[in-house]
Amino acid sequence: MVSGVCVAQDSDVNGGAMHIEVIPVGPYAANSVLLWQVPDQAWVVDPGADGGKLLETLRRKGLTPAAVVLTHAHFDHISAVNDVVAAYPVPVYLHEADAAMAFSPLNAMPPYPATRRPATLDTGKRDGDVLSIGGLSARLIHSPGHTPGGWCLYFEDDGLLIAGDTVFAGSIGRTDFPGGSPDEMEASLRRLTALPDETRVVCGHGPMTTMGTEKRSNPYFP
């Protein structure tokens, strides 16, 4: 971590069961995340920009994606999904409440282009469903507040939460964008307080943190 910004990193979680690389992409430095246990069944979470950079990282590490997972619909988290799916036609998971926003022509801002709806889009997952791919399993925790269909990915066996823009180190995602809700954000944060303090948190922007740190010091946590 450098000056509050998540730098690209490759680390093992829980003794090597999971490998993770966090790659800030685009002008807003959204954190794209690569996760894998089996190299030919990697997860790509929030390919927000710099599609060429993400594809080159996959090739350099010998990884083949098995799925793309989007934590929410905002353009800085999805704008490279078409690049990834063009190279690897894998399922793209997104909460159905964010689908209309994600692929609207209005969900763009230069240099972020509008994102075409992938043919492989899957909006059928629900709160509490478990997504199991390549030896890794994440429970999907619906976390509205920043967007209506935001969700967090909780890898309980690996003690890891990918929080999207629900939780930042010392802060939270904005609730004043279209579809945002302070009340829903508060309810989402209350749900997340049930997670163990030692849970590592990959945030949508900025450095990693832990649930214990945020419970103790994040002024937005209930």
pLDDT in tens, 130-169: 999 999 999 999 999 999 999 999 999 999 999 999 999 9
Assess whether pLDDT exceeds 90 at residue 13. no
User: What percentage of the chain carries pLDDT values higher than 90?
Assistant: 92
> pLDDT tens for residues 92-125?
999 999 999 999 999 999 999 999 999 999 999 9
Q: Higher model confidence: residue 209 or residue 2?
A: 209
Give the number of residues written for the chain: 222
Q: Which residue has the higher pLDDT, 191 or 3?
A: 191
pLDDT band (50, 70, 90) for residue 8: very low
Could you please state the CATH topology (level 3) that the domain comprising 10-217 is classified under: Metallo-beta-lactamase; Chain A (3.60.15)
CA distance 72 to 95: 7
**Nearest partner of 55 among 27, 29, 86, judged by Cα:** 86
Residues 102, 1: Cα–Cα separation, whole Å: 30
**What pLDDT score does 5 carry?**
34
Given a cut of 90, whether residue 17 has pLDDT beyond it is: no
Q: Is the pLDDT of residue 10 over 50?
A: no
Omega before 111 cis (within 30°)?
A: yes
Q: Where are the domains of the chain?
A: 10-217
> pLDDT by residue (tens digit) across 55-85?
999 999 999 999 999 999 999 999 999 999 9
Residue 91 to residue 74: CA distance in whole angstroms: 19
- DSSP letters, the chain, are -BTTBPPP-EEEETTTTEEEEEEEETTTTEEEEEEESSTTSEEEE---S-HHHHHHHHHHTT--EEEEE-S---HHHHTTHHHHHHHS---EE--GGGHHHHTSTTS-BTTBPP-PPPTTEE----TT-EEEETTEEEEEEE-TTSSTT-EEEEEGGGTEEEEETSEETTEE--S-STT--HHHHHHHHHHHTTS-TT-EEEESBS--EEHHHHHHH-TT--
What integer pLDDT is reported at residue 11 of this predicted model? Answer: 52
